[in-house]
Amino acid sequence: MIAHDYPEATVIVDVSVRGKCDIRCVQARGDECACECGGDNHGGLRNSNWTQVGETTLVENGEKTRRRTYKVGYAV
For the chain, the first-to-last Cα distance in angstroms comes to: 17
25: three-class secondary structure by DSSP: helix
Intervals of the chain under pLDDT 70: 1-4, 6, 15-18, 33, 45-48, 61-66, 73-76
**What pLDDT, in 10s, does the model give residues 32-51?**
767 777 777 777 766 567 78
What is the pTM (predicted TM-score) of this model? 0.46
